[in-house]
Amino acid sequence: MENFDVAVIGSGPGGYVAAIRSAQLGYKTVIIEKYDTLGGTCTNVGCIPTKALLDSSHHYAEAFHQFEEHGIKLGSLEIDFPRMYKRKSEVVSKNTAGLDYLMSKNKITRLKGTAGFISDSVIKVTGNHESIEITAENYIIATGSKPSSIPGVLIDKQRIITSTEALSLKEHPKSMVIIGGGVIGVEMASIFSRIGTQVTILEYADHLIAGMDHELGKSLQKVMKKEGVDIRLNQSVYKTENSGSSAKVFFRDKNNTESELEADYVLVAVGRSPYTKGLGLENTGVELDNRGCIKVDENRRTSIANIYAVGDVVGGAMLAHKAEEEGVLVAETINGQKHQIHDDRIPSVVYTWPEVASVGFSEEYLKKNNIEYNVGKFPFSASARARASMDTDGFAKVLVDPKYGEVLGVHIIGARAADLIAQAVIAQEFEVTAEDMFRISYAHPTYSEVLKEAYLMASGQGAINI
């Protein structure tokens, strides 16, 4: 029976980062993955392929709607759906190859199979034809999550699908109903509506991307409606049916009025659940909470001292970059280093266009908790850079403590918001004030200037630039 210093179960962003950092710190490390490729959901059927299709569909939409205004004339324009999906697969392959290289470079042992605990100190790895047992001084569980569903909705992976199946479609769908208007739902809606699919979103809440500042969801709804997405809020889905060549979805509004829709596909995007199946946690002292997430402390240590867990499996915000930070945290904790993650300073991003990004407290949270704040809000339509690129939808909103100028929250919907939010994360992490943020020099013209103006306005000053 081979012994390792660190055994990582799962190779998504939390797992592969934990393994690499452990190896860099000099630990004999093994990573266990049941699939042929490393990278987990994010690299294979999540973040990376979704962004590839979002970029492809965005280019098509720009060519279709904006190129003529830019003085660029094209002949006939059409979607080569198989080629678009082939490029997506090529992007994924390059990323997984990069992970293979990093494992080899850092001399990390790879085992293919399903890992299950026999006890607190031994795991069995079961592959296609054999099983082996290994031990480790420390274990890191990074098994991720799987798509969730709701009562009455059976995901058959044929006509009633999740984002995973949507990323492997063989045909260009003419119509699609998406159950859920969260991050996954609106990103999928963006991909398919841009290339001509008739998309309907059914959302239970009264606004999109309900976990973020509500003003962001309302603004995104206006943009997506303008692009042709049918958005129906306050809808409760209670049943779906596979009709063979199509699918039906049945739902009720807040007045209990029943309706139904038929489409080529029904895509279920109602969230994700932690994946602990087959881990053998019942053979350990590791505890789960009432949502099925693994309980951990601030260092991501479970109730067993040498077993840690990171990423989606511990709940909270299910974000790849959160999992990565937790992977580093655990490896360095094992090494005796002091490291800390502030969960409220981890940004959230939606890769629609315009992009949506947020960090810190929402306006709703501050109001609910009677926390005083000033608001600074500046529209992209007043930005010279945004007008030059025809990306004038959206705004930057900053929430600032009126006494000390602390940046409490930053919420952006607009061009390159996913990149702009990093500046706000720095402000929060290092407790930089709003005045500090508007007094630094911003290149002109850039999208980032919308933040400078928002900080100025939150500090009681007017806008000074365009």
What is the C-alpha to C-alpha distance for residues 63 and 194, in angstroms, rounded to an integer? Answer: 11
CA atoms within 13 A on the CB side of 242: 11
Q: Is the peptide bond before 13 cis (omega within 30 degrees of 0)?
A: no
Are 398 and 459 spatial neighbours (Cβ–Cβ below 8 Å)?
Answer: no
Q: Is 70 a catalytic residue?
A: no
Q: What is the DSSP letter of 299?
A: T
Of 65, 70, 342, 444, which residue is the catalytic one? 444
Nearest residue to 109 via CA among 11, 13, 43, 35: 11
DSSP state, residue 91: H
The letter for the amino acid at 33 is E
**What does the angle CA 320 – CA 323 – CA 326 come to, to the nearest 5 degrees?**
155
Rounded-to-integer distance, Cα 247 and Cα 236, Å: 17
Cis before 445? omega within 30: yes
> Contact 430/447 with Cβ under 8 angstroms?
no
DSSP lists the bridge partners of residue 111 as 32
287, 120 contact by CB (below 8 A): no
Residue that is written with structure tokens 């699919």 in the block? 197
Query: Among candidates 101, 123, 92, 41, which has minimal Cα distance to 304?
Result: 123
Q: Determine contact, residues 28/5, Cβ cutoff 8 Å.
A: yes
Residue 217 has which token pair?
């969801």
Distances (CA, A) of 333 to 138, 139, 140, 324, 347: 11, 12, 12, 14, 23
Q: Single out the residue of 93, 358, 19, 425 nearest to residue 216, CA to CA.
A: 358
The residues annotated with a catalytic role in the active site are: 444
